[in-house]
Amino acid sequence: MAKIGWIGLGNMGNPMSKNLLKAGHEVTVWNRTKAKADEILAEGAKWADTPKEIAETCDFIFTMVADGPTLQSVTLGENGVVAGLSSSKIVIDMSTVSPEESIKVNDAIEAKECKFLRAPVTGSTVLAQNATLGILTSGDRAAYDKALPLFEAMGKNQFYLGGSEEARVLKLSLNVMIGVTSQMMAEAVVLAEKAGLDVAQVCEVMAGSAVGSPLVGYKKALVSSGDYKAAFSVKLMMKDFDLAFAAAKQYDVAMPVTAVTRQALQAAAATGRGDKDFSVLTQVLEDQCGYKRP
Ligand code: NAP
């Protein structure tokens, strides 16, 4: 069984690392807030005091953190992963970050004669718990083949996309579709609500209709109940939209609908909803349109 290091025990990292433990691997964890490791330590994982210590003792080192600056601090910082690497290790980042941020990390890891896989995921916390995530990977092919059994312990659908930053770009493309879907759902739901229809029934019909994607199905409970506890926060979605705009500029692509949705996300954050699930866009629009649920 592999010696695995895991850095980042947030909404996603926690269930994903537990699935590696369940698959029988030896898992050592580090998280900025140690209390979030309590559960996995009780289940048999080990604790490391720094990301550097993880790199010194493990063969596969995973990171699942909020954003690019955090990825850079846990890898390139003084007590970061790179400082603890020796040759032939495989570092795998599963966070959503930009290609530019990713390349810097890759170069530092390759300078230590190690390999870096970019492996962002599709699917949210429930899929992370059920080990049914989609995993989009790019980077060295031989390293991917070695890591595949570990990916299979966390996800149902595996995609190898190329030797460099391909997975980063595709992940951002998917996330703008997800965010825009949430704004479309908001507009359709608020129209129906203001016309007097029952929100739970409206969501049920939408989820079963031609536009009923898996995403609409996952979000119908939050939108119906009005309880927008975050599976994926507004703040993180705003981060991904901004990364997508940077990529769109680089590749000369217009994204007008994405731009409008970014403004809706801003309104959500500006009204104190930054830590709510991004499907809170329905509530933002209800407020803007003067609608109060019965
Ligand atoms: P989260 O719950 O907010 O967790 C973020 C993690 O990053 C935590 O471990 C947090 O540590 C750590 N972190 C944040 N700032 C840090 C810093 N300055 N130094 C060290 N560690 C820091 O986020 P998440 O939902 O798990 O998402 C993780 C990544 O997966 C993100 O890139 C996100 O875009 C992507 N993603 C999320 C979903 C989803 O549905 N949630 C789906 C697909 C992809 P603390 O515990 O100390 O705060």
Which CATH number belongs to the domain containing residue 134 in this structure? Answer: 3.40.50.720
pLDDT tens digits along 31-87: 999 999 999 999 999 999 999 999 999 999 999 999 999 999 999 999 999 999 999
Q: 103 and 185: one domain? A: no
Residue located nearest, by CA, to atom 8 of ligand 1: 10
> Could you write out the DSSP letters of every residue in 187-250?
HHHHHHHHTT--HHHHHHHHHHSTT--HHHHHHHHHHHHT----SSBHHHHHHHHHHHHHHHHH
Residue positions annotated with a catalytic role? 171
Alpha helices in the chain (DSSP H): 13-22, 38-42, 51-57, 68-76, 81-84, 99-110, 125-129, 141-152, 166-194, 199-208, 214-225, 234-251, 256-268, 281-288
From 16, 65, 173, give the residue whose CB has the most ligand 1 atoms within 8 Å, as the site to mutate: 65
Instruction: Report residues whose beta carbon is within 6 angstroms of any ligand 1 atom.
Output: 8-13, 31-33, 36, 64-67, 70, 73-74, 95-96, 121, 124-125, 231-232, 236, 240
Domain, as residue range, for 188: 169-288
pLDDT tens digits along 86-134: 999 999 999 999 999 999 999 999 999 999 999 999 998 999 999 999 9
In a domain, 200, yes or no: yes
Q: 11 and 68: one domain? A: yes
In a domain, 294, yes or no: no
Cβ-contact 15, 128 below 8 angstroms: yes
- The predicted model scores a pTM of 0.93
Residue where a domain stops, chosen among 117, 137, 163: 163
Residue where a domain stops, chosen among 163, 189, 208: 163
Q: 173 and 159: one domain? A: no
